Amino acid sequence: MSVTHKHCYALLLSYDGGAFAGFQKQAPLVTVQGALESALAALGMPVQVEGGGRTDSGVHARAQVVTFRAREQLDPAELPALLARHLPRGLVVRRAARPDYSFHARFSAQSKEYRYRVCTGPAPTAWEQAHAWTLPDPRGFPEVEGPVDRLDEAAVRRVLAPLEGFREFRNLAHPRTEGKTRRLLVRAGLEVVERVPGGARYEFTFRSPGFLRHQVRNMVGVAVTAGLGLLPEGALEQLLSGKGDRWRGARAPGRGLTLWEIRYKPADDPFAAA
């Protein structure tokens, strides 16, 4: 390593959110940011990393991007292996790059995509129990008795369609959310990944330049509530009006949510080919 002026480094991460209390550092809890900064410090670089998305406790990431700045001149090709020696189980640095100094994991992002898995039917696998919302869920829907074989997909899509566009999401955000709560939701989609005897595997996709805290999990909660036939008439219109009460129904648990990718301008993206 040679010491010169500061350089910008970017890391492409994947992690299992079940191993972490979210992305953002919260001592003494184990977080993604804290684990990364400890690993970098072990390499002689006590720096602060910035994430492209601040995932909550239990939320996974397929392609999280982080940046940090250091005076050390590093070989990006060697950095993943060097960090792997100091990282906890469940956190992997897939690639490293040295983009232009002005690049920032969060502020340079054009959009983020989150995906959410929901499973219905008998005998979910161990992976699904850790990475999906498995129904029935007595905590989220105590009024539902017996097995849930399918969601009413038409009802779910009737909820998702009005969410797209520039909307007021105050009533679907965390209660302590401050500042502007209008957001552009580019995509709100539902895919049936697989149909199994007595059940189905669903995947929700949401894409936006920026999400509010708990927004995705609340949107999934509203959509699944509709898919179970439990959403009151006019509830969605009231929520999107930004007036009245916030959503107090089921919020989808963090374990089913994955930060799928972060998109940048092609000329800026350090991992465009990943």
Tens-place pLDDT, residues 38-63? 999 999 999 999 999 999 999 999 99
CB-based contacts of 165: which residues, under 8 Å, 6+ apart? 184, 185
Q: Where in the chain is the domain with CATH 3.30.70.580?
A: 2-108
CB 71 within 8 A of CB 6: yes
Confidence of residue 6 (pLDDT cuts 50, 70, 90): confident
DSSP letter at 128? H
Dig out the tokens for 10 from the structure: 């970017």
* Average pLDDT, integer, range 164-186: 95
d(CA 199, CA 207): 27
Is the pLDDT confidence value at 224 over 70? yes
Taking the CB of residue 74, how many other CB atoms lie within 10 A of it?
17
pLDDT at 274: 60
Catalytic residue among 56, 137, 152, 268: 56
Q: Where in the chain is the domain with CATH 3.30.70.660?
A: 111-261
Looking at every residue in the chain, the average pLDDT score rounds to 95
Is the pLDDT confidence value at 4 over 60? no
More confident residue, 116 or 176: 116
pLDDT at 1: 44
Is the pLDDT confidence value at 2 over 70? no
CB-based contacts of 158: which residues, under 8 Å, 6+ apart? 226
16 catalytic residue (yes or no): no
**The domain 2-108 is classified under which CATH number: 3.30.460.20, 3.20.20.70, 3.20.20.60, 3.30.70.580?**
3.30.70.580
CB-based contacts of 178: which residues, under 8 Å, 6+ apart? none
The long-range contacts involving 227-236, CB below 8 angstroms and separated by at least 24 positions, are: 227/151, 227/152, 227/153, 227/155, 227/156, 228/135, 228/141, 228/144, 228/148, 228/151, 228/152, 229/152, 229/155, 230/141, 230/143, 230/144, 231/155, 231/159, 236/159, 236/162
Digit-coded pLDDT (tens) for 78-130: 999 999 999 999 999 999 999 999 999 999 999 999 999 999 998 899 999 99
The size of the chain, in residues, is 274
pLDDT at 27: 86
CATH topology of domain 111-261: Alpha-Beta Plaits (3.30.70)
CB 51 within 8 A of CB 22: no
d(CA 174, CA 50): 22
Confidence of residue 3 (pLDDT cuts 50, 70, 90): very low
Q: pTM for the whole thing?
A: 0.94
To the nearest whole percent, how much of the chain has pLDDT over 70? 97
pLDDT at 178: 87
Is the pLDDT confidence value at 265 over 70? yes
88 upstream amide cis, omega within 30 of 0 = no
* Helix residue ranges per DSSP H, the chain: 32-42, 79-84, 126-131, 153-163, 215-227, 235-241
Give the three-state DSSP class for 215.
helix
